[in-house]
Amino acid sequence: MSACKNKKEDPTPGSTTAKTTQEKFIGTWRTTNVKVVTKEVAVASTAPCLFDNKIVFNADNSYLKTFGEIKCSSSDTDIKGSWRLDGDEIKFSAVANNVKVTENFKLIDDNTMQYTVITSTTSDGTTTNIEVVTTFAKE
């Protein structure tokens, strides 16, 4: 007779039973792809200054976003802050120069993460939304 074994199946990624834990986000992530989406067009960016950017999520809920050696702008400086896990996503938001920025980081799999930045600006009564989707690989 063979003994029965309780085999626990891994949940399908994206299923309601797949639970994202904070530990899966912790570590260093490098930019691998950037796509800019506006109302009119979606464009993949190939600017070299984007692909040496990294973000580090620490176990103490602090993070460090670095812009690498190749800067897109002289104003690119490291950003430090805190993060929290909200369901299956990391969420935080900031306001800089009267522009509200909200970032939602989501795991695609254990080694791939995406975040979406939605920037809304209002000028002369017209609001413009720009969405930037960045894909990261875990180092």
Q: What angle do CA 92, 95, 99 make, to 5 degrees?
A: 120
Tell me, what's the pLDDT at 136? 93
Tell me, what's the pLDDT at 27? 92
Tell me phi and psi for residue 42, to 5 degrees: -120, 130
Residue 29, strand partner residues: 55, 138
Residue type at position 16: T
Tell me, what's the pLDDT at 138? 96
Tell me, what's the pLDDT at 30? 94
Tell me, what's the pLDDT at 123? 80
Per-residue pLDDT of the chain (139 residues; tens, 9 = 90+): 545 544 444 444 444 334 567 888 889 999 999 888 876 555 666 788 888 989 898 888 888 888 889 988 888 888 777 777 777 777 665 545 555 666 678 888 989 999 887 888 788 888 778 888 899 999 9
Spatial CB neighbours of 30, under 8 Å, sequence gap ≥ 6? 51, 52, 53, 54, 136, 137, 139
**Domains detected in the chain:** 24-138 (2.40.128.20)
Tell me, what's the pLDDT at 15? 40
Residue 124 near residue 41, CB atoms below 8 Å: no
Q: pLDDT per residue over 46-83, tens digit each? A: 788 888 989 898 888 888 888 889 988 888 888 777 77
